[in-house]
Structure 1
Amino acid sequence: KKEFLSHNLPSVDIAINSGLNKKTIHNMFNSSTREIVINASSKHYDALFEVIRNLVETERDLDLSLTIKFKGVSIDLNVSESLIVINTLAVKRAEIRGGLWSTAGKRVEKPLMQTLCKLYRVPNNNYAARIKGKEIEDSDFEREIDFYLIVGDLQHKCEVKLMGIGNPESADAVIARRSKVFIADKLSERNKRQLDSLGVEWVELRSELGFRRFETVLSNLRIPHSNFVDNFDEKMESIFNEIFK
């Protein structure tokens, strides 16, 4: 514990070594200052170690050991230590994977929303992509953007999230960003109920209807549009040529 939760480490590493991550701690305490991260990590590490200790004492047949080698020096870990290390690696992997998916979601947001709007022939003045309230250029593709569906004086913020099934943070993310439209690759039934209760329009891209539910979203928000054209492949090629020119 002394090495894993050393105060000399960055707070993000302290959290991960305890089996948490800074985002989880922030959600728990509505803050992720270094002091809070250290205190939360210490308590969680103790709780985790106690669970592992009880598991080892209960499961007498459990036999596991890890040998860590670094620059010619090797350390053999007992069962409890091995499980702590494995848990830490799992948390780190999840954090990296989550970060990559989040980045991918932001990068795909503008072209995906543009494609959906063009498929249903939404007029150009009824949607916009902005950075901090400013119109963005194609050169800003990799910068974080906000996408809006517009009707009259109303600007409905859209959010794209690649998250897999059952992510409990979906509704929280929508509340925090005040999004009116939520586009995801996969949504659990619980996610859908949460979004419906919030009055948020949603599209689940991997579902049977997939992107076609976007037409319902446009209708509900009274965004001018046309019915979907069946020659999908031809239409998509034309749209991609326009977006990625």
Structure 2
Amino acid sequence: MKELIGKIVHSVLTGQDYRTYVLATINKRFLDKAQKLISEIFEYKRKGNNWLEKLLDDTYKKQGKNNKFKLLWFGGLNDKTVKNMTGGTSAKRVCLDLGKKNIKALQLLLEEFENSEDLYQMIINIEKDKEKISLDYIESLFFMNIISAMKLTIQGGAWSEVGKKTEKGLLFVIFKMINIPDERYILTNEEMKKKGLVKNREIDAIVLNDKNEALTVELKLLGIGNPEIGDEAFSRNVNLFLTDKLTEMMKDEAKNQGITVIEFRQKNPLFKIYEFFSSNGVSCNKPEEMSAEELEKSINKIIREWREEQEDLKIVKKLKEWTK
């Protein structure tokens, strides 16, 4: 994960599109999960009839988070869909019952159209060590439903996971590269937000200047593809808003509200960040000028040294100081 974060951080700080790295992660996870699901489908299909119902029942009996995900996928569902259908719960028994109902409903629908001349017929064959099993038309569509449900789950999870890790790692790299002392900044975590020590849950970092005044930082990537994030951040009155790109209208709005916006796709964003903190009384140094290759090496070195656990311990220490 650190290698991936390093590549994304380098892409962000040099104004490049970093999304290909996230997509590569999603594709790798998809292939890994697909192989595991296909192997189970292969084994159950070769045992005989009603293989999908038996697969659901056996998966239900297994413990662990991964098996709960499989239970959802074999029923053609995902966690969010189940919670929306039930008003918030996704207990295993509920997943099993809804999965069976979903399969039955899809089966009835497909049987209505099975003999239609207007439909394309799809038959999936799975082969392993020269042994081959064939799924019929309806089973093949069940298979597609299973794989699609899995893809939706890992796709959403990967963007969220990589996003959270990258945002913290990116801020850590920035603060290190402009030499803000460790004791003068905090990368906020959920514990601080739960205790109400951060005015808003979306604030990603707090930096203290020489007068011990707190400067709040919010970081949001994919800004140009999500124009609402600017409005949301501005309503929180953060001091510094970092993003990959914003529209001119939103930048004007931020200026009117006294919020500094720095885009990573503008020229030399790291120097602009240094200028912001320096002009606001934060102890820091001008970033070194370096080539893209030198920058990449420097980022990778910092990321390797990054210990999220140590950052959390620093937060715990601050929590004790602020809650005395």
| Partner of residue 173, structure 2 | 115
Q: Which amino acid is the alignment partner of residue 90 of structure 1? A: S
Contact 2:75–2:146 (Cα < 8 Å) also in 1: yes
Please, which of 18, 30, 35 is the counterpart of residue 93 of structure 2?
Answer: 35
Is structure 2 residue 250 aligned with structure 1 residue 193? no
1:70: Cα distance to partner?
A: 6.0
Is structure 2 residue 239 aligned with structure 1 residue 204? no
Contact 1:14–1:38 (Cα < 8 Å) also in 2: yes
| Partner of residue 76, structure 1 | 134
Aligned length: 206
Contact 1:182–1:203 (Cα < 8 Å) also in 2: yes
Across the aligned residues of Structure 1 and Structure 2, the Cα RMSD in angstroms comes to 4.6
Larger-gyration structure (1/2): 2
| Partner of residue 63, structure 1 | 121
Please, which of 38, 41, 53 is the counterpart of residue 2 of structure 1?
Answer: 53
1:52: Cα distance to partner?
A: 4.6
| Partner of residue 181, structure 1 | 218
Contact 2:59–2:71 (Cα < 8 Å) also in 1: no
**Mean Cα displacement is larger for which, 222-231 or 76-85?**
222-231
Would the alpha carbon gap of residues 69 and 241 (structure 1) be closer, same or farther in structure 2, given more than 3 Å must change? closer
Percent identity of equivalent pairs:
19
> TM-score w.r.t. structure 1 length?
0.57
Where 1:2 maps in the other structure, the secondary structure is helix
1:4: Cα distance to partner?
A: 4.7
1:64: Cα distance to partner?
A: 1.4
| Partner of residue 137, structure 1 | none
| Partner of residue 21, structure 2 | none
- Greater helix fraction, Structure 1 or Structure 2: 2
| Partner of residue 159, structure 1 | none
| Partner of residue 177, structure 1 | none
| Partner of residue 12, structure 1 | 69
1:104: Cα distance to partner?
A: 4.1
- Greater strand fraction, Structure 1 or Structure 2: 1
CA distance in 2, matches of 1:228, 1:52: 65
The superposition leaves residues 75-104 of structure 1 with CA deviations (integer Å, 9 ceiling, x where unpaired) of 432222212102212332443455555554
CA distance in 2, matches of 1:94, 1:111: 26
1:65: Cα distance to partner?
A: 0.8
CA distance in 2, matches of 1:182, 1:59: 54
The superposition leaves residues 163-211 of structure 1 with CA deviations (integer Å, 9 ceiling, x where unpaired) of xxxxxxxxxxxxxxxxx72433x3563x331552364645238974399
1:115: Cα distance to partner?
A: 1.5
Where 1:5 maps in the other structure, the secondary structure is helix
CA distance in 1, matches of 2:264, 2:283: 22
> TM-score w.r.t. structure 2 length?
0.46
Would the alpha carbon gap of residues 238 and 51 (structure 1) be closer, same or farther in structure 2, given more than 3 Å must change? same
Where 1:128 maps in the other structure, the secondary structure is strand
Q: Which amino acid is the alignment partner of residue 269 of structure 2? A: R
CA distance in 2, matches of 1:224, 1:70: 62
Q: How do 1:33-182 residues align onto structure 2 when only pairs under 5 Å count?
A: 33-49=91-107, 52-53=110-111, 56=114, 60-69=118-127, 74-96=132-154, 98-100=156-158, 102-120=160-178, 122-129=180-187, 148-151=205-208, 181-182=218-219
